[in-house]
Amino acid sequence: MVSNITDQILPKIKEWQERPLDSVYPIVFIDAVHFSVRQEHTVVKKAAYIVLGVTENGEKDILGIWIGENESAKFWLGVLNDLKGRGIKDILIMCSDGLTGIKEAIQAAFPKTIQQRCIVHMIRNSVRFVYYKDLKPFCNDLKTVYTAKNEKLGYEQLQKVREKWKAKYPTSLRNWEDNWNAICPFFSYSEPLRKIMYTTNTIESLNRSFRKYTKTKSVFPNDESLMKCLYLATQNITKKWTTRYGNWDMILSELSIMFDGRI
């Protein structure tokens, strides 16, 4: 009975997932939330991949939700091509964690787009194996890297921090070295824009809201049931998004200079 009642929203979900989008988004965030879903008499972990865009007016908008099992360049390329098919022609900055295959997919679908790795995720990955007694001094040293005035100073600080801790934690900063090209773009922008793009906190806050709406459901019977729940949660969450980012006029002016002719 419940399924029959909730099936009435399936056309609305389809319409929402296929609705036309703006031609340009200054900033787009990508992340995933994992849920338990029943599949062929077993329970498996599936991810709801969420794409959140910031419009030219500085307002947030959930562009779509895709449910899948494994991340890959092919999967992400399918998501980005879906966005292109719905009208997006350009994305200036795309912020994400180290999602599998996302770098290759961005290069294929939006070759001019700048990828920004989430600094908060980078910090979490770095401190996973740091002893508690070293956690505060290690994080304080790491802070000198991502709060540096520019990329050159940031990289110099990274070398100093790595030299200081390499004997005790030889692998903790390797990820920063390997992904520096995707970490450093935010150094080129002003402080208000940095605060938006250097972390995926915007979409992680959205993920926490999704968790509140789904916490009573430990296992979803199928993908369709999960999608229904997330769609209804989306409608409630976005009702509260009534304001745009602060200092947006200044940020938009900066973006129009940095990305001349694209916005």
Is a pLDDT exceeding 80 seen at residue 6? Answer: no
Helix (H/G/I), strand (E/B), else coil: 55: coil
Parse the chain into domains and list their residue ranges.
1-117+200-244, 119-199
More confident residue, 253 or 263: 253
**Mean residue pLDDT across the chain:** 90
Is a pLDDT exceeding 80 seen at residue 19? Answer: yes
Contact in structure between 52 and 202 (CB atoms under 8 Å): yes
pTM of the full structure = 0.89
Is a pLDDT exceeding 90 seen at residue 99? Answer: no
Pairing of strands 42-54, 60-68: antiparallel
Least confident of 129-143, 204-218, 231-245: 204-218
| Confidence band, pLDDT 50/70/90 cuts, at residue 197 | confident
Phi/psi of residue 122, nearest 5 degrees: -60, -40
Where b means 16+ CB within 10 Å and e means fewer, 37-59 reads beeeeeeeebbbbbbbbbbeebe
- Work out whether the CA dihedral 53, 254, 193, 261 comes out positive or negative: positive
User: Could you report the per-residue pLDDT of 132-162, keeping only the tens digit for each?
Assistant: 999 999 999 999 999 999 999 999 999 999 9
Q: Given this model, what pLDDT does residue 60 score?
A: 93
> Which of the listed CATH numbers 3.40.1190.20, 3.30.420.10, 3.90.1170.20, 3.40.50.300 matches domain 1-117+200-244?
3.30.420.10
Is a pLDDT exceeding 70 seen at residue 3? Answer: no
Helix (H/G/I), strand (E/B), else coil: 43: strand
Q: Given this model, what pLDDT does residue 211 score?
A: 85
Q: Cα–Cα distance between 64 and 78 in angstroms, integer?
A: 12
| Confidence band, pLDDT 50/70/90 cuts, at residue 32 | confident
